Structure 1
Amino acid sequence: MADLIERLRDGLPEEAVLTDPDVTAAYANDMASFCAAGTPAVVVMPRTVEQVQHVMRTATDLRVPVVPQGARTGLSGAANASDGCIVLSLVRMDRILEINPVDRIAVVEPGVVNAALSRAVMAKGLYYPPDPSSWEQCTIGGNIGTASGGLCCVKYGVTAEYVLGLDVVLADGRLLATGRRTAKGVAGYDLTRLFVGSEGSLGIVVKAVLALKPSPPQQLVLAAEFASTEAACDAICRIMERGHTPSLLELMDRTCVRAVNDMAQMGLPESTEALLMAAFDTPDPSADLAAVAELCTAAGATEVVPAEDAAESELLLQARRLTLTALEAVKGVTMIDDVCVPRSRLAEMIDGTAAIAERYDLTIGVVAHAGDGNTHPTVCFDSSDPDESRRARESFDAIMALGLELGGTITGEHGVGVLKKEWLARELGPVGLELQRDIKRTFDPLGLLNPGKLF
């Protein structure tokens, strides 16, 4: 330990090396439930690429594992420490290095907070679309590590579609540049995409070139109530089949609606079984909302309420944004799943989750990025009750099994981490798993980068 600390301090400022056990314990885990975390030997907080390289060279020389971290808002245990590791926190590498309106790119360090980047580019008439629900806290490096999405994915896509190039410090301290600054480029294998979603297991992202879009018009939102999940999902299928491209298409089940009402007294209709929200940021959003309103009515909506202005739209969206916080208030602890299924199977996924909740005698609310088929079943439980905790974990596994049965994936945007290692093996199959492990060994032959995650 003394040798490790001394070697780290040789290339880092004194304040960048944290050894107080009470301090380092705060960096042991992210926000996931049921994910074991070890005790880090040290937390380092570099500010430069050279300092990150020094950390990795030291780790390689001494064979010490390294766990990279951003803001630790993740939900899969991917940022959890392992015993005796170096926690490499990148939050102090938080500079926006460039915003280029002509090339429509931003160049940023990994510790830049998503919301800070969004506001900075907005001031120049540009737009960075990926907007995870934790966008006020989460970092771009963390978003890249988990290939995160957000509410606007149905129209604008996920983080992977906006990462043009990366600077990555490899396990042995070498600096690798991938990708490009240009709008097009197909030179060689796409290593950039390989790092996106790799959860810090292949290298440490220290700089990213991100694509931007022109700032869209102000969106307007519509809310539609349905007496059944099947009717709501029928409306979703009709909207997508007719070629509409909403900027947002979100679904809340009855449990979520009631939880939001209980917490925030928002007056949402508790008689509804499913509440669908659609938004458009087109030049004439009112016309698009009117067309979608007709489709919702034809699918059986009991009431359709289009917002007339931005203030009303924001009020409707506030209910959606409060959902996970409201579900946490039900029992104090939640376990958030992230199963994504084909849109055509969305009703089966939601109704199947309701059956699982009944089978395990638990409260499970489902909110979904409905336009993507990406559901977030959220298990509410009392962590001090061993039997309820057991049932919560078993229900979580049942939900993932259901997603795979419906032709889906175990994670649409939260990542695998510790939480879903067993399920990743089931989804990939033996050949896929073997090849992914081979890739890991190529980039990290000593197995030092984020050990115990993914496989």
Structure 2
Amino acid sequence: MDDLLERLREHLPADAVISDPDVTASYAHDMASFCAAGSPAVVVLPRTVEEVQHVMRTATALRVPVVPQGARTGLSGAANASDGCIVLSLVKMDRILEINPVDRVAVVEPGVVNAVLSRAVHEHGLYYPPDPSSWEMCTIGGNIGTASGGLCCVKYGVTAEYVLGLEVVLADGRLMSTGRRTAKGVAGYDLTRLFVGSEGSLGIVVKAVLALRPSPPPQLALAAEFGSAAAACDAVVRIMERGHAPSLLELMDRTTIQAVNRMANMGLPDTTEALLLAAFDSPDPAADLAAVGALCTAAGATQVVPAEDVAESELLLQARRLSLTALETIKSATMIDDVCVPRSKLAAMLEGTSAIAAKYELTIGVCAHAGDGNTHPVVCFDAADEDESRRARESFDEIMALGLELGGTITGEHGVGVLKKEWLARELGPVGIEMQRAVKHAFDPLGLLNPGKLF
């Protein structure tokens, strides 16, 4: 321990190395439940690439594991410390280095907060689409690590589609560049995509070149009430089948609606079984909303309410953004699942989740990025009740099994981390896991980077 601290401090400012156990304990875990976390030996907060390189060279020399972290808003335990590790927090590397309206790129450090970047590029008439629900807190480095998504994915896609190039510090301290800043480029293997979603297990992202889009027009939204989740899912199928391109298509079940109302007094229709939110940022959003509203009515909507202006639209979208936070108020703990299924199987996913909730006598609220089939069943339970905690974990596992049975995946945007290691093995199979481990070994032969995550 003394040798580790001494070596780290040789090339790091005094305030960048934290060894007080009371402070380091606060960096031990992210926001996931049921994920083991160890006690870090030290927390390091570098501000430069050279300081990150020094940390990794020191870790390699002393064979000390390193756990990279951003804002720790993750939901899979991917940022959880291991015993005796160096926690490498990148939140101090928070500069926007460049915004280029001609090339339509931004160059940023990993600690830049998603919302800060979005507002900065907006001043140039540009748009960075990925917008996780935690966008006011989460960092770009964390978004890259978990390949995160957001509400706009149905039209604009996820983080992986906007990362053009990276600078990465490897496990031994070498600096590597991947990708490009051009609109096109196919030179060699796509190592940039390999790092997106790798959860800090292959290298430390210290700079990212991100693609930007022109700012779209302000979006208008509508809310459609349904007497069942199945009817709401039928509306989703009709909307996508007819070729509509909403900028947002979100679903909230009755449990979620009631939770949001209790927490924020939003005035949502908490007597309905499902609420579908659709938005368009097209040249004529009112016409698109009218067409989608008609499809919702045909699918059985009991009421369709289009927003009259942008302010009313934003109020509706704020209700959706509050969903996960509101569900956390129901019980002392939550397990937030992240199962993505084909759109055609969305109704079966929601119906199956409801049956699982009944089987285990638990409250499970569901909010979903319905346009791309990404559901977030939230299991609410009393962490102090041993039996209820057991049932919560079992229901969580059944929900993931249901997703795989329906042709889906165990995670659409939250990552694997510690929480879903067993399920990653089931989804990929033994050959897939073998090849994943081979890639890991090529980049991190000593196994120092984020050990115990993914597999």
TM-score by length of 1: 0.99
Encode CA deviations 1:217-254: one digit per residue, 9 max, x unaligned: 00000100111111111110010011100000000011
Aligned-residue offset at 1:23:
0.5
- Residue 319 of structure 1 and its aligned partner are, at CA, apart by 1.5
Q: Write out per-residue CA displacement over residues 241-278 of structure 1, whole angstroms, 9 at most, x where no aligned residue.
A: 11100000000011111111222222222221110000
Does residue 56 in structure 1 map to residue 56 in structure 2?
Answer: yes
Q: Which amino acid aligns with 2:162?
A: Y
Q: Secondary structure at the match of 2:79?
A: coil
Please provide the CA RMSD for this pair.
0.6
AA aligned opposite 2:432: G
The amino acid that maps onto 1:287 is A
Deviations 1:160-190 (A, max 9, x none): 0000000000000000000001000000000
Matched to 1:317, the amino acid is L
1:448 paired residue number: 448
Structure 2: tracts of 5 or more residues without a match: none
Supply the distance in 1 between the matched residues of 2:354 and 2:5 (Cα, whole angstroms). 51
The corresponding residue for 2:395 is: 395
The aligned runs of 1:128-167 (5 Å cut-off) are 128-167=128-167
Partner of 2:293: 293
Which structure 1 residue ranges, 4+ long, deviate > 3 Å from structure 2? none
* CA distance in structure 2 between the partners assigned to 1:278 and 1:204 by the alignment: 37
Per the alignment, residue 121 of structure 1 pairs with 121
Asked if 1:411 is matched to 2:411, the reply is yes
What TM-score, normalized to structure 2?
A: 0.99
The 3-state SS of whatever aligns with 2:329 is helix
| Superposed counterparts of 1:21-32, under 5 Å | 21-32=21-32
Q: Distance in 1 between matches of 2:396 and 2:353?
A: 10
In the alignment, the residues of structure 2 paired with residue 258 and residue 373 of structure 1 have an alpha-carbon distance, to the nearest angstrom, of 22
Residues 328-357 of structure 1, C-alpha deviations (whole Å, 9 max, x = no match): 111121110000000000000011001000
Question: Per-residue CA shift, 1:198-219, capped at 9, x if unaligned?
Answer: 0000000000000000000000
Please give the secondary structure, in 1, of the residue aligned with 2:71: coil
Secondary structure in structure 2 of the residue aligned to 1:282: coil
Q: In structure 2, what is the Cα distance between the partners aligned to 1:328 and 1:421?
A: 24
Secondary structure in structure 1 of the residue aligned to 2:178: strand
| CA–CA distance in structure 1, aligned partners of residues 264 and 21 of structure 2 | 38
Equivalent residue letter for 1:31 = M
Q: How does 1:422-437 map to 2 (within 5 A)?
A: 422-437=422-437
- Write the deviation string for residues 53-88 of structure 1: whole angstroms up to 9, x where unpaired: 000000000000000000000000000000000000
Question: Which residue matches 2:75?
Answer: 75
State how far apart, in whole Å, the 1-side matches of 2:152 and 2:357 are. 28
The residue type equivalent to 2:166 in the other structure is L
Q: d(CA) in 1 for partners of 2:247 and 2:219?
A: 8
Taking the aligned partners of 1:197 and 1:75, their CA distance within structure 2 comes to 14
* Distance of 2:6 and 2:188 partners within structure 1: 40
In structure 1, what is the equivalent of residue 307 of structure 2? 307
Taking the aligned partners of 2:163 and 2:368, their CA distance within structure 1 comes to 25
Give the secondary-structure state (helix, strand or coil) at the position aligned to 2:222. Answer: strand
Q: Paired residue for 1:337? A: 337
Q: Structure 1 residue 377: deviation in Å?
A: 0.2
Task: Name the CA distance, whole Å, in 2 between partners of 1:115 and 1:129.
Answer: 10
- What is the aligned partner in structure 1 of residue 12 from structure 2? 12
Q: Which moved more, 1:263-272 or 1:75-84?
A: 263-272
Show CA shifts across 1:393-448 (max 9, x none).
11100100000000000000000000000000000001100000000000000000
SS at match of 1:330: coil
How does 1:94-105 map onto structure 2 within 5 Å?
94-105=94-105
- What is the aligned residue count? 455
Say which SS state the counterpart of residue 378 (structure 2) adopts: strand
Q: Per-residue deviation at 1:318?
A: 1.9
Residue identity over aligned pairs, in percent, reads: 84
Match of 2:231 in 1: 231
Distance 1:168 1:303 in 2: 51
Which residue of 2 is the match for residue 321 of structure 1?
Answer: 321
1:199 aligns with: 199
1:262-318 per-residue CA deviation (whole Å, 9 max, x = no partner) reads: 222222222211100000001110000000011111111110000010111112112
Alignment of 1:241 with 2:241, yes or no, is yes
SS in 2 for 1:329: coil
What is the alpha-carbon distance in structure 1 between the residues aligned to residue 270 and residue 58 of structure 2?
A: 58
Structure 1: which 5+ residue stretches go unaligned? Answer: none
The CA distance in 2 between the partners of 1:286 and 1:375, in whole Å, is 27
CA distance in 2, matches of 1:262, 1:12: 48
- Partner-residue secondary structure (3-state), 1:259: helix
> Which residue of structure 2 lines up, in the alignment, with residue 270 of structure 1?
270
Distance 2:100 2:263 in 1: 42
What letter corresponds to residue 210 of structure 1 in structure 2? L
Query: CA-to-partner distance for each residue in 1:353-390, whole Å, 9 max, x for gaps?
Result: 01000000000000000001000000111111111111
